[in-house]
Amino acid sequence: MNGITLDEVSQQIKAVIRDIPDFPKEGIVFKDIMPLLANYDIFNKTIKFIADHYKGRGITKVVGIEARGFILAAPIALELQAGMAPVRKKGKLPYKTISKTYDLEYGHDTLEIHEDAIKQGEKVLIVDDVLATGGTIKAVCELVEQLNGNVESIAMLIELDFLKGREKIANYDLFSLIKY
Ligand code: AMP
């Protein structure tokens, strides 16, 4: 994007991501992207950089994961001239859904997508803000595939390297803008 390198954009993004220790529970350092969203220049560069990475790959649908994934997926979809499909927590989507239950550190969670959100054979890009253990993204890949979509790639704003989420989705193409 306009000659700016991944390193340069990563540094600018890192400078506006805020660490919140012990949120939502003790021991977790929450990566708060709200200061990034509040900054037009950095937010714009973030969206354009991710979208540019995928231009020409034939992506027709961008899947965003509740809730911060929506904020990134929608403008990326517009840049790619693709549609957008939300994945939400159980009970939030109004039409007929398919669902996937997956394990969390303690307990489990269920994600849903509308059964008509993805057409057979569509090239799909999945977007979220943070890759932690990878459980969420893996469940979303399975939802897309259940609808016979092809996961072309996964785009993450932040990858928490030390949690090794990448290993859980080793069969998929993954692009992350910044790593910790
Ligand atoms: P996981 O399934 O462990 O990869 O967790 C990913 C989901 O949890 C994403 O939707 C993230 O938004 C959220 N998440 C996990 N860890 C963090 C963190 N340290 N800071 C912000 N969000 C997080």
The domain that holds 147 is classified in CATH as 3.40.50.2020
Q: How many angstroms separate the alpha carbon of residue 34 from the centre of ligand 1?
A: 15
- Ligand 1, atom 14, lies closest to the CA of 130
Residue 28 falls within a domain, yes or no? no
pLDDT score for 152? 98
Low-confidence ranges of the chain (pLDDT < 70): 2
Distance CA 173, CA 12 (A): 24
Residue 106 falls within a domain, yes or no? yes
pLDDT score for 93? 98
pLDDT score for 52? 97
Residue 52 falls within a domain, yes or no? no
> Does the CB atom of residue 136 touch ligand 1 within 6 A?
yes
pLDDT score for 106? 76
pLDDT score for 27? 93
Round to the nearest angstrom and report the end-to-end CA distance of the chain: 23
